[in-house]
Amino acid sequence: MQPALRQRTPRFVGHFAGLRRRFPPGAGLFASLLACSCGAGEPRFAAAPGAERASIEAIDDELHALSRGLTAAHRDTFRGILEDTLAKDPYVCRPSPRQVFFGEAPEGSRTIEGALPHYGFFFGPMRYRVRRRGPGEARGWEVSVTIALDFPRASRIELPDCALVREVSGDESACRGVPYSSAPSVEACPGSGSFSLPATTANLRALLGWWSREAERYYNRDAEHFAIPVHYDFTFVEAPVPAASPVDLATLLSPTCGRTPYFSAFRSGWSLPIVAHEVGHVLGLLDEYEAFSGLSSAYPKTPFPGAEQSRMGLSMREGTRVLPLHHYLILRRYLCAEPARGSFYEAAPPM
């Protein structure tokens, strides 16, 4: 379904305006969205041959077969996620999963960008780059995301575990308790231990390096598990960056843990599984749990039935998976025609 272009001002408009002031044109995604310059200067793409053909039923059948039984008990849930995302997505085409993963595709690189509605409450940006490898290389895909973070003015940064503390060390570090990703709670910030470092530039850069090395591991691990030929590369850098450098999201680095929309801030207290989940939003994946659940202990996080095994469901768990469904939704856009462009505030799908 093609998004209807109409005037609409979602929540967080003031925050978007504030980010535009902090990150002037050339700094990243917000500048391009708010200046209505998405796709400027880039070639227009037509849908690849056969990309429009598959039915929802056929796509669901193939994804189920590729999922090694993980979605079998709750096929309705994952079919609903598939159908909902395709209905909201500005990239309109429905290639089969086997065509996307294993079929022929034009070689080259493409930037995917736009916005998707979350809970019918706010619009979140997606932007990433996809490359189809050419002759002489291992056949398959590469997906890359670069996120630029503005460092906080703080004395310390909260961490979710001892991993970075052990790597950086130092007399002023704190490292005791149960890692957040191992806590029995389903809260993003369970407070199960005390982990922190001084907020020096060196330590903040070490955190970004840690995220860059480790967050992509969940996607690459699961692509290999499901035999899907794609490699992910996530890079976190300090803002500001040179104007010529590719930046897909520019936002703040918060020195604490907490629930924050991914485009508002990334938080030093998030565990690696949560960082991987939040990058999933930059890749155009939607949450797979009851809207706004998990905001407080009185309203615990409630994944859709079966989505407790999904990276976009119970995000804080090490063992949750980036399913074939997710890889399909990320990669299929490469085969779609270029969507109609409107301003960030105008591209509002009917809700």
Q: Does some domain include residue 150?
A: yes
User: Predicted confidence band at 331 (pLDDT cuts at 50, 70, 90)?
Assistant: very high
Q: Tell me the pLDDT tens digit for each residue of 234-252.
A: 999 999 998 888 999 999 9
Question: What does the block give as tokens for 111?
Answer: 């930037």
Our count of domains for the chain comes to 1
Q: What is the pTM of this model?
A: 0.83
Among the residue ranges 167-181, 219-233, 288-302, the one predicted with the least confidence is 288-302
Structural domain for 105, as ranges: 15-335
Strands 265-267 and 249-254: parallel
The better pLDDT of the pair 288, 199 is held by 199
Q: Does some domain include residue 256?
A: yes
Q: Does some domain include residue 218?
A: yes
Q: Does some domain include residue 5?
A: no
Beta-strand ranges (E) seen in the chain are 108-118, 122-132, 141-150, 156-158, 174-177, 193-198, 230-238, 249-254, 265-267
Q: Does some domain include residue 347?
A: no
User: Predicted confidence band at 5 (pLDDT cuts at 50, 70, 90)?
Assistant: very low
Q: Does some domain include residue 32?
A: yes
d(CA 195, CA 157): 9
Q: Tell me the pLDDT tens digit for each residue of 85-135.
A: 999 999 999 999 999 999 988 899 999 999 999 877 789 999 999 999 877
Q: Does some domain include residue 349?
A: no
Residue 310 β-bridge partners? 321
126 phi, psi to nearest 5 deg: -125, 145
Q: Does some domain include residue 132?
A: yes
